Amino acid sequence: MRKINLFFILPVMILLLCSTRSMAQGQDANYKWVGNELSTVIGNSNADMNAVYLYNVGTGKYLNVGSIWGTSISAYNVGMRLNLTKISADTYHIEGVLETDDGHMLGFPHVLAGDEVPDKQSSWDRVFCDRISTNAYVDWTIKETSSGSKTYTLYCKNDATPAIVHGNRYLVVDPTASGSNRLSFIYPTDPTSYGANAQWKFITLQDLKDAFKAQFASSEAPADATFLLTDPDFMRSHKGIGKWVVSGLQQNYLPAKYAFNQEQPNTYYVGMGQMNAWPDKYTRQYGSYWIASIRNLGNNAYANGSVTQKVNVLKKGWYRVSCDGFYSPGAGSNLKASIFANVTGSSDGRSVVSNDLNVFGKEFNYTKEELTKTYKAVDVATESPYIKAAKSFETGIYNNAILVYVPADGDELNIGIKVSGSDKELDWTAFDNFQLKYCGDNDMLLDEDQTSLDYLTKQALVPTNAYTLILKRTLKTGLWSSITLPVSLTAAQFKTAFGEQAKLARLKGQDAAIPTRIDFEKVDLSNDDATVIEPCKLYIMQTTRKANVEAGSYSKRLNDGSQVTVQAPYYTINNVVLPTVPSPIFRENAHQTTTVSGDIQFCGTQINQTTTIIPAHSYVLGAKDGMWYHTANALPVKGFRCWIATNVNAASPAKPLTFTIDGELQGSTTAIEGLHIEGTEASAHGAVYNLQGQKVADDASQMGTLPRGIYVVNHKKIMIK
């Protein structure tokens, strides 16, 4: 996710409004951007109408920077703010907010003598955002695809030598599949075969502001608010880098180049392995991979602190703050790094939130020398650790998000990264690509302690509206727990609440090869838009993130004048819809097995069941250790939890089973030893099983006849040597 200016995030389908409410300018009845007439975004008396963003119809991406040199264009989820100037009929200059010594307009560079070689073609055979008429072709022809469509094609007449770049070069997003969330451009002289990838709409700053409203429709995406941030992507040599305020860290800032020195003892660094004091081949290839970093480098006194930007929001309500980032503790380190958001002057737990960044997964190694090295043209074959981190960010595996409540219009919101406990020289925190979205001012509450669904009915939730979910469900980080909800969640919503590396699985049934095992299958979380939790379905999950509201309480006023209060910690999830008030308890169809457990049935409850509703001989996940327990007695259970009942079509008690996820025994040895039978004592005798779950002897007294190996008796491992 690389470099941009006054950027903002806009989903492919943006800002839906139900028919009973007025639509923001730039939207249609199908909740898509319709764009604006070109004549209305030039010389308009409303300055917000003159600030435009180019939206690609075919991909839903926006024109931005982030390719060669860090100043050539790419297509991305967020867009670069532009201004258009009319030169003559259908001819315009396009200016961005990026400005270098080379200029500030979009254009094709002139080809200099000696540059007509393949090694340098990438420096001129593409559009850059920092050009002027003396060094590039900057005249753009913009034509509407059909009268009244508010959809346009854009091309620049390029007469440079060599002939390969001659002609009208159209702006087209490359249709080739990409593993990155940032797409490349191609510049054909005939756009016909590229369809909507060659078509563009002008979205204005006024459109974005109009999209802020208290209530969003059920199929509506949050309104982008990233345009309120300055340099959210820590782009190469951005003049607004000073809006990020550094506290407690050491830095060597080079104002003339808007760049930083990466050498020791500087702990704060923005860049990709150069000071940017000179342009060279390394900058040309990797200039788009600037990120922000907090390093230790043996400088403990200045290795802990924060990087913060203050934002005055437009409207009160819920905001989603996200970034890409990880923290990488050196061996034995106490390093912790978090993303935070807090409202100046507020002590409300909803308005003072933070959560740990993802822990670095060690996809690559790095050394202190590599973190401080100045990479030059001769090093072009070697990617610095910063470049490797930036590329991992582009895959989305290190996204972090929190929700914060802003209580009043115009309040000051502080967002950023905080590092603490850094005490080893290889401690490193890397971050980039901040985004801000407005989620409205209405919420719903789900509370695990409520003994009836009256509180949900009395919230008077509308099934065509989306709400910020306040979820009171006790979970422990890193442990498996059961989960059922009356609402659906997408992969993005699930990961926002429970962590980018969180896990989710659903019941599959009896293992085909090992009858004594019951299999769960993982739910794919890779597609952010896919629904991964369906209403009133039963799952097990493992959170990797603590609840993002950790202090205070939240009270929800009901339509009868009463209120329900929950104490922190609790989770917050944006844009959630309640399709209907569910039944308090529900059961999936029974799954047949060939074991003595007979049929098994996954059951769940949406309320706190204070009576013993879980039958004896059921399976439950223990809250303290995340292990499966085989119950000897009937049990009560709190809301949003599940259990597995056995022998649901028979009266005899079932014997213990083991459980896997995608065929993998959970916890390995721990899972075997941790399968406790509550309320009973282990017998001195019992059948003997191998690790594949097959019975190899009727009683432990026969173990002397067995070959060497590891066996299981009464759920304990025994080794025969």
Q: Would the CA dihedral through 369, 370, 373, 377 be positive or negative?
A: positive
Mean pLDDT confidence for 666-694:
48
Contact status, residue 412 vs residue 314, Cβ threshold 8 Å: no
Beta strands in 59-139 (DSSP E): 62-65, 73-76, 78-79, 82-88, 91-100, 103-109, 128-131, 136-137
CA distances to 179, 196, 637 from 184, in Å: 11, 15, 53
Residues of the chain with CATH 2.80.10.50: 8-217
CA distances to 59, 327, 492, 653 from 73, in Å: 15, 30, 27, 67
Q: Quick check: 214 pLDDT over 90? A: no
Q: Would the CA dihedral through 138, 4, 435, 246 be positive or negative?
A: negative
Q: Quick check: 668 pLDDT over 70? A: no
Q: What confidence score (pLDDT) does residue 708 get?
A: 62
| Neighbour-count burial of 624, counting CB atoms closer than 10 A to its CB (0-12 exposed, 13-18 middle, 19+ buried) | exposed
41 closest CA partner among 96, 82, 100, 90: 82
Per DSSP, the three-state class of 351 is helix
Residues of the chain with CATH 2.60.120.260: 226-438
Q: pLDDT (tens digit, 9 = 90+) per residue, 358-372?
A: 999 999 999 999 999
Least confident of 232-241, 561-570, 690-699: 690-699
Mean pLDDT confidence for 97-103:
78
d(CA 440, CA 320): 10
Strands ordered across the beta sheet of 600-605: 585-587, 600-605, 641-646, 619-621, 628-630, 676-677
Q: Quick check: 75 pLDDT over 80? A: yes
Q: pLDDT (tens digit, 9 = 90+) per residue, 312-365?
A: 999 999 999 999 999 999 999 999 999 999 999 999 999 999 999 999 999 999
| Residue 636: cis peptide before it, omega within 30 degrees of 0 | no
Q: Quick check: 690 pLDDT over 50? A: yes
Q: What confidence score (pLDDT) does residue 679 get?
A: 34
| 624/179: higher pLDDT | 624
In the block, tokens 């030039």 appear at 42
Least confident of 90-94, 131-135, 178-182, 681-685: 681-685
Q: What confidence score (pLDDT) does residue 239 get?
A: 81
Q: What confidence score (pLDDT) does residue 144 get?
A: 97
Q: What confidence score (pLDDT) does residue 15 get?
A: 34
Contact status, residue 465 vs residue 490, Cβ threshold 8 Å: no
Assign 201 a pLDDT band (cuts: 50, 70, 90): very high
Q: Quick check: 453 pLDDT over 80? A: yes
Q: What confidence score (pLDDT) does residue 281 get?
A: 86
d(CA 100, CA 539): 53
In the block, tokens 């609790």 appear at 570
| Neighbour-count burial of 694, counting CB atoms closer than 10 A to its CB (0-12 exposed, 13-18 middle, 19+ buried) | exposed
Q: Quick check: 606 pLDDT over 90? A: yes
Mean pLDDT confidence for 632-652:
82
Helix (H) or strand (E) holding 348: none
Q: Quick check: 598 pLDDT over 70? A: no
pTM for the model: 0.82
When computed from its CA atoms, the radius of gyration of the chain, rounded to whole angstroms, is 29
Q: Within 13 A of 190's CA, how many CA atoms are on the CB side?
A: 2
Mean pLDDT confidence for 418-442:
97
Per DSSP, the three-state class of 554 is strand
Q: Which fold would CATH assign to domain 226-438? A: Jelly Rolls (2.60.120)
Q: What confidence score (pLDDT) does residue 707 get?
A: 63
d(CA 237, CA 247): 21
The mean pLDDT value of the chain amounts to 86
Q: What confidence score (pLDDT) does residue 433 get?
A: 95
CATH code 2.80.10.50 for 8-217? yes
**Helix/strand/coil (H/E/C) assignment for every residue in 645-675:** EECCCCCCCCCCCEEEECCEECCCHHHHHCC
Q: Quick check: 680 pLDDT over 90? A: no
CA distances to 120, 172, 288 from 261, in Å: 27, 37, 17
Beta strands in 473-538 (DSSP E): 480-483, 489-490, 503-510, 517-522, 531-533
| Neighbour-count burial of 259, counting CB atoms closer than 10 A to its CB (0-12 exposed, 13-18 middle, 19+ buried) | buried
Least confident of 219-223, 329-333, 399-403, 472-476: 219-223
372 — phi, psi (to 5°)?
A: -110, -5
Q: Which residues contact 536 (CB under 8 A, 6 or more apart)?
A: 484, 485, 486, 582, 583, 586, 604, 606
Q: Quick check: 69 pLDDT over 70? A: yes
The alpha-helical segments, DSSP class H, found in 441-578 are 454-457, 491-498
d(CA 60, CA 84): 21
| 8/182: higher pLDDT | 182
In the block, tokens 């801000």 appear at 436
Q: What confidence score (pLDDT) does residue 168 get?
A: 94
Q: What confidence score (pLDDT) does residue 276 get?
A: 60
Q: Quick check: 90 pLDDT over 80? A: yes
Q: What confidence score (pLDDT) does residue 635 get?
A: 93
- At position 433, the amino acid (one-letter code) is N
Q: pLDDT (tens digit, 9 = 90+) per residue, 462-482?
A: 999 999 999 999 999 999 999
| b/e sequence 634-671, b meaning 16+ C-beta within 10 Å | ebebbbbbbbbbbbbeeeeebbbbbbbbeeebbbeeeb
Q: Quick check: 717 pLDDT over 70? A: no
Contact status, residue 102 vs residue 122, Cβ threshold 8 Å: no
In the block, tokens 């150069």 appear at 274
Mean pLDDT confidence for 651-660:
64
Contact status, residue 26 vs residue 210, Cβ threshold 8 Å: yes
d(CA 9, CA 164): 35
Contact status, residue 99 vs residue 65, Cβ threshold 8 Å: no
Q: Secondary structure of the chain: what % helix, strand, coil (to 5)?
A: 15, 40, 50
